[in-house]
Chain A
Amino acid sequence: MVDPMKKYSGFSLFKHALKHHEDWQKTWRSPRPKQSYDVIIVGGGGHGLATAYYLAKEHGITNVAVLEKGYLGGGNTARNTTIVRSNYLWDESSRLYDHALDLWYGLSQDLNYNVMFSSRGVMNLGHNLQDMRDIERRVNANRLNGIDAAVLTTKEVKDIVPIINDSQDIRYPILGASWQKTGGVARHDAVAWGYARGADQLGVDLIQQCEVTDIVVEQGAVTGVQTSQGFIGAKKVACVTAGNSGVMASMAGIRLPLESHPLQALVSEPIKPIIDTVVMSNAVHAYVSQSDKGDLVIGAGIDAYNGYGQRGSLHVVEHTLSAICELFPMFSRVRMNRAWGGIVDTCPDACPIISKTQVDGLYFNCGWGTGGFKATPGSGHVFAHTVAHDDPHPLAKPFTIDRFNTGHLIDEHGAAGVAH
């Protein structure tokens, strides 16, 4: 619940306009850390902030701190291509991502913060017979799971995206696509800031510039964390640190089945509205949408090597742009403005780990790899349940770390390995 005095509304806008917008309340406090908390969440990105928000809202646990070594939403939350969809192949993952999609639909109202979720549809192109067979299989699986999905023909693709190159003479012609109309994009910063504000108003302490340097474990149970601002005690520590999860795990003396890779994305100069949906292609590895500012948002692939450097190699970007230019010849003279890399924690089965660990009171939510943004609300929601009850949320049960020992993997490479 947002404090009625601080609620954003037409009325508050009017009220502040009378005072020349000079005394808007701070969006969140910046408290000093207390000596101890019931729950410490390490990592102030979208997933961590969402976890804090749902811990406070759904489970009444408000003695919570979110520790962020940089600034809120400054890691992968600020570095993704903001695509939201739920058309995953397997039952386990489609339920999880569809749960997130349900939450996206009411999120702006729930948070009283405009996350600019735009359900403009997401299209995955097929370029050969096998692609189309895979697409049909996935669409059928989606429909059985109640997810809105359809197979498009080349003509239907062209009707939705008139600027696409539907020539059958190109190296990778478009033979059709899968289509999730309820998918779309959201504003990444607003998601982090909305959850941060919501959590803060429920009493969660958001502590920035506070790097966790060690996880303190005594007799197999967590007692707190050492940070750049001193020791902070906690009964439970929940790590939501994406690419740095392996580093966090090693502090607690455990290993994770993760490898961290740079994943690059780039945006063009702003242009007039030209593409009003999201077009993705796994086979040629390219995906593009247009932001509200008008820039084309383009995702490249991961660099094959392990890396924490938040940058990657140029040939990966070149590869993506050559595919984009073949699909959209008219983009060939658009200049690219900025490119960046985020560090993604890839899992062997391209599915996340939402799990307790062998250390009591230590939880991990990681392994989202290349496609975590879309799951932000659902991830936080089920992880909050897992932390609050020390027992996995029913939707999170298949995603425990044990699956790498039992062999019960959820192989989502087809639906998740490339596209986001």
Chain B
Amino acid sequence: MLHIYCPYCEEMREEEEFSYAGEAHIARPLDPESLTDAQWGDYVFFRTNPRGLHHEMWNHAAGCRRYFNVTRDTQTYVIHETYKMGEQPSVTGEKP
């Protein structure tokens, strides 16, 4: 059971209140008409699926019902940070 801090409710809540919504920071192409099939397929289906740090979206379904971002380690399941939509992660695994 994960314990997740909702950045909008500003509370630590149990995983069952949340639903997972996949990889974060995938921008919808601004001009879909001009994409090739390969580019569109890449946007729709292909994911980084890393073993390690992962930026992902969660929805606080049984709370504020808002989406937010989480940086979580997919191997240890440690949640490093949660942050609001539109913000950028501060934990990226890259050396400063």
A406 close to chain B: CB less than 8 A: yes
CB distance from B7 to the nearest CB of A (A): 17
Report B-chain residues with C-beta under 8 Å of the C-beta of A133: none
Contacts of A233-264 to chain B: CB distance below 8 A: 244, 246-247, 250, 255-260
Report B-chain residues with C-beta under 8 Å of the C-beta of A306: 23, 49, 54, 56, 74
Q: Is the interface of B mostly helix, strand, loop or mixed?
A: mixed
Q: Are A305 and B45 in contact (CB under 8 A)?
A: no
Q: A308-B75, A309-B74, A309-B77 are in contact. Are A259 and B16 (CB under 8 A)?
A: no
Give the docked Cα–Cα distance between A89 and B28 (Å): 32
B95 close to chain A: CB less than 8 A: no
Give the docked Cα–Cα distance between A308 and B54 (Å): 11
B94 close to chain A: CB less than 8 A: no
Q: A258-B47, A306-B49 are in contact. Are A313 and B56 (CB under 8 A)?
A: no
Closest to A245 in B: B49
Q: Are A260 and B49 in contact (CB under 8 A)?
A: yes
A70 close to chain B: CB less than 8 A: no
CB distance from B32 to the nearest CB of A (A): 14
A404 close to chain B: CB less than 8 A: yes
Q: Are A405 and B38 in contact (CB under 8 A)?
A: yes
Q: Are A406 and B74 in contact (CB under 8 A)?
A: no
Report A-chain residues with C-beta under 8 Å of the C-beta of B77: 307, 309
Q: Are A313 and B50 in contact (CB under 8 A)?
A: no
Report B-chain residues with C-beta under 8 Å of the C-beta of A246: 47-51
Q: A307-B77, A309-B76, A404-B41 are in contact. Are A255 and B47 (CB under 8 A)?
A: yes
The answer, among B1, B74, B75, for a CB contact under 8 Å with A314, is: B1
Q: Are A304 and B47 in contact (CB under 8 A)?
A: no
The answer, among B19, B37, B54, for a CB contact under 8 Å with A405, is: B37
Of B19, B50, B56, the most chain A CB neighbours within 10 A belong to B50
Give the docked Cα–Cα distance between A373 and B38 (Å): 31
B2 close to chain A: CB less than 8 A: yes
CB distance from B15 to the nearest CB of A (A): 6
Give the docked Cα–Cα distance between A314 and B16 (Å): 10
CB distance from B83 to the nearest CB of A (A): 17
Report B-chain residues with C-beta under 8 Å of the C-beta of A10: none
The answer, among B1, B15, B45, B48, for a CB contact under 8 Å with A404, is: B45
Q: Are B74 and A255 in contact (CB under 8 A)?
A: no
Closest to A348 in B: B45
Range of interface residues on chain A? Answer: 20 to 34
Q: Are A313 and B47 in contact (CB under 8 A)?
A: no
Closest to A254 in B: B46
Binary per-residue interface labels of chain B (35-69) against chain A in the complex, 1 for a CB within 8 Å, 0 otherwise: 00110111011111111001010000000000000
Give the docked Cα–Cα distance between A244 and B42 (Å): 20
Closest to B20 in A: A304
Q: Are B1 and A247 in contact (CB under 8 A)?
A: no
B72 close to chain A: CB less than 8 A: yes
Closest to B54 in A: A306
Give the docked Cα–Cα distance between A71 and B1 (Å): 29
Give the docked Cα–Cα distance between A407 and B41 (Å): 8
CB distance from A246 to the nearest CB of B (A): 4
Closest to B1 in A: A313
Give the docked Cα–Cα distance between A174 and B71 (Å): 42
Give the docked Cα–Cα distance between A36 and B72 (Å): 39
Give the docked Cα–Cα distance between A171 and B94 (Å): 51
Q: Are A315 and B16 in contact (CB under 8 A)?
A: yes
Give the docked Cα–Cα distance between A307 and B22 (Å): 12
CB distance from B90 to the nearest CB of A (A): 20
Report A-chain residues with C-beta under 8 Å of the C-beta of B47: 246, 255, 257-259
Give the docked Cα–Cα distance between A313 and B40 (Å): 34
Of B44, B49, B74, the most chain A CB neighbours within 10 A belong to B49
CB distance from A260 to the nearest CB of B (A): 6
Give the docked Cα–Cα distance between A246 and B77 (Å): 18
Report A-chain residues with C-beta under 8 Å of the C-beta of B56: 305-306
Contacts of A4-57 to chain B: CB distance below 8 A: none
Report A-chain residues with C-beta under 8 Å of the C-beta of B72: 305
Report A-chain residues with C-beta under 8 Å of the C-beta of B2: 305, 313
Q: A260-B51, A305-B20 are in contact. List 4 more A-B contacts (CB 8 A).
A: A304-B19, A305-B72, A405-B37, A407-B37
Q: Spell out B's residues near A (CB within 8 Å).
A: 1-2, 15-16, 19-20, 22-23, 37-38, 40-42, 44-51, 54, 56, 72, 74-77
27 inter-chain pairs at a CB distance below 8 angstroms, sorted by A residue, are A246-B48, A246-B49, A246-B51, A250-B50, A256-B46, A257-B45, A258-B49, A259-B22, A259-B49, A260-B74, A304-B19, A305-B2, A305-B20, A306-B74, A307-B77, A308-B51, A309-B74, A309-B76, A309-B77, A313-B2, A313-B15, A315-B1, A315-B16, A404-B41, A405-B40, A405-B41, A406-B41
